[in-house]
Amino acid sequence: MKVGKLIFSLIATLLIICAGGLPASTGVINFDNLTAPAYFSAVTPGTGLGPVLVYPDVTFNYGVVLNDSGYDYLATTPPNLYATTDFHPLAIGVAGEYVTGEITALFNQPVNNVSLDIINGYGAATFTVYAYSGAFVGDLGNVAIALAGYGSAGDVETVSLPFSGIESFLVVSTQTAGYKDFAIDTVNYSIVPLPPAVLLLSSGLMGLVGWRRFRK
């Protein structure tokens, strides 16, 4: 097949994709790809368990991966969860040895259908998940849930974010400063291809064909 015909075939395929749309690809992060200790005091930052935790689609921050045996086996997809605290020290023994008591997630591209499980690690509190269209800017809205205290019925719940084009989210609680302690698990999302990007590629291919004809 000549190069010109090949390019036109690619353009036609891309235009069909734009017209009909591409199916969304789904993802789930359950933090179970790591071997993790049960307690914050056994985690040294920078050893692969957090606070910064990088996956192909999303980067988490301000928590560490723990085995749920130290969390009353409350992970919704055992054995691990991603936990934060501002009163259990990490294993570094210097000032700043606590994480912040909040959790963030930053996706590599916009996603839809985000849901996550929140596990309360202390007293009864309200947990709020803020969704953003950019890197923690462009407020899309938030969802709040009330969870019972740790070890009580209702201390684990799923939060679903009814927003499209989410690029980041932030999880915070009303727990008192110095007693912030909770975890997340089973983060689900779907990645929807962006038609403008496909159209841009189509335009570039069309320009290439025009340039080839001009040269001839």
Residue 191 pLDDT? 93
| DSSP, res 90 | P
- 135-139, 146-150, 190-194, 210-214: which has the minimum mean pLDDT? 210-214
Q: Where are the domains of the chain?
A: 1-22+193-216, 24-192
The reported pTM is 0.81
pLDDT attached to residue 19: 45
Q: What is the pLDDT of residue 193?
A: 74
Distance CA 65, CA 53 (A): 9
pLDDT digits (tens, 9 = 90+) for 30-71: 999 999 999 999 999 989 999 999 999 999 999 999 999 999
**HSE of 162 in the Cβ direction (CA atoms, 13 Å)?**
2
For the beta carbon of residue 175, count every other beta carbon within 10 angstroms: 22
Best CATH choice for the domain 24-192 from the list 3.40.630, 3.30.530, 3.90.1690, 2.60.120 = 2.60.120
Q: What is the dihedral of CA 21, 24, 25, 31, to 10 degrees?
A: 150
